[in-house]
Amino acid sequence: MTVRPRRLRTTPAMRRLVREVRPHPADLVLPVFIHEDLSEARPIGSLPGVSQHPLSAVPALVEAAVEAGIGGIMLFAIPSVRDAEGSAACAPGGVLNRAIAAASRAAGDRLVVMADLCLDEFTSHGHCGVLDADGAVDNDATLEVYAAMARAQSRAGAHVLGLSGMMDGQVAAVRGALDAAGLTDISLLAYAAKYASAFYGPFREAVDSQLVGDRRTYQMDPANGREGLREAELDELEGADLIMVKPALPYLDVLAEVAAQSRVPVAAYHVSGEYAQIEAAAAHGWIDRRAAHLEALTSMRRAGADIVVTYAALELAAWLEESR
């Protein structure tokens, strides 16, 4: 034999030298949940190690992220009062906008502050948009609310708006609204290929979701790959600065193809159910927790993700630094 691939696997030093993908803490974004009614952290049962936090905790959470060296945080918020229109989402004094302001002040230019731009946490019915007279999500009426929400989040200090609602034309509507308001420096992260997935279950506990039914009329069918490429291309054309595939691991094929065609940075969201699977199996002693989280991260980066949103961001950052 003249070709022996094992030559490049002989020692840790050799494997490190020829490694193709090198995840870094700066690639990572940590989701953070802020609950308006809390005075102290409350653990989320289906997401071991993850909690809902009071608004007062935001500066300390930012400092922890900065010290870990991760790239950013993504803020989600649970208001005290919900209504059919999701009014608290657009109010300057709403919990999410107050959390954004606190995070932005604490972060300065040391950390990217991202905000979830969607109505599901704020509506009494749990959908990502406003409903029409027949109870269906009204795409175009929702875009008007997203535009107001975008202006409020931008004025609160968000650096990146995460457009996660999967409404047609949402990127163009938000970009147009921000440009018209002179808010031209705000980046848009489009959840371009967001699938109607079974892996979102723990997240619904995290945001105290009020959803009855499902979101299959606006989130994507898990069977469709080419549609994900089309959605990503449309969002780029509408002015997205970054695009996302969500969930990550069941859609690595879509992630790889989106990354191959994209001219903007690509993110992957290692969602709540994916994280919870690792945590549950590790708790039973069935898998090595650290190795599994690192392998999942590496697979997303190998598929082409420039940015990974993950609940394990702080621990991953520490493990990556230890292995350098």
pLDDT (tens digit, 9 = 90+) per residue, 219-275? 999 999 999 999 999 999 999 999 999 999 999 999 999 999 999 999 999 999 999
* pLDDT attached to residue 324: 79
* pLDDT attached to residue 233: 98
Could you tell me the pLDDT band of residue 61, with boundaries at 50, 70 and 90? Answer: very high
Q: Examine the pLDDT at 213 and tell me if it is beyond 90.
A: no
Burial 109-147 (b: 16+ CB within 10 A, else e): eebbbbbbbbbbbbbebbbbbbbeeeeebbbeebbebbb
* pLDDT attached to residue 18: 97
CA dihedral 180, 178, 95, 209 (to 10 degrees): 120
Q: Average pLDDT in the 26-55 region?
A: 97
Question: Which residues are known catalytic residues?
Answer: 194, 246
Closest to 37 measured CA to CA, from 102, 85, 73, 81: 81
Could you tell me the pLDDT band of residue 96, with boundaries at 50, 70 and 90? Answer: very high
Fold of 21-323: TIM Barrel (3.20.20)
Q: Which residues contact 114 (CB under 8 A, 6 or more apart)?
A: 29, 72, 73, 74, 75, 158, 159, 160, 161, 162, 189
Q: Examine the pLDDT at 111 and tell me if it is beyond 90.
A: yes
Q: Average pLDDT in the 111-121 region?
A: 97
Q: Examine the pLDDT at 122 and tell me if it is beyond 90.
A: yes
Q: Where are the domains of the chain?
A: 21-323
**3-state SS string for the chain:** CCCCHHHHHCCHHHHHHCCCCCCCHHHEEEEEEEECCCCCCEECCCCCCCEEECHHHHHHHHHHHHHHCCCEEEEEEECCCCECCCHHHCCCCCHHHHHHHHHHHHHCCCCEEEEEECCCCCECCCCCCCECCCCCECHHHHHHHHHHHHHHHHHHCCCEEEECCCCCCHHHHHHHHHHHCCCCCCEEEEEEEEECCHHHHHHHHHCCCCCCCCCCCCCECCCCCHHHHHHHHHHHHHCCCEEEEECCHHHHHHHHHHHHHCCCCEEEEECHHHHHHHHHHHHCCCCCHHHHHHHHHHHHHHHCCCEEEECCHHHHHHHHHHHC
Q: Average pLDDT in the 172-182 region?
A: 98
Instruction: Please give the mean pLDDT across all residues of the chain.
Output: 97
Q: Examine the pLDDT at 177 and tell me if it is beyond 90.
A: yes
Q: Average pLDDT in the 123-133 region?
A: 94
* pLDDT attached to residue 100: 98
Q: Calculate the CA 46 to chain-centre distance.
A: 18
* pLDDT attached to residue 210: 86
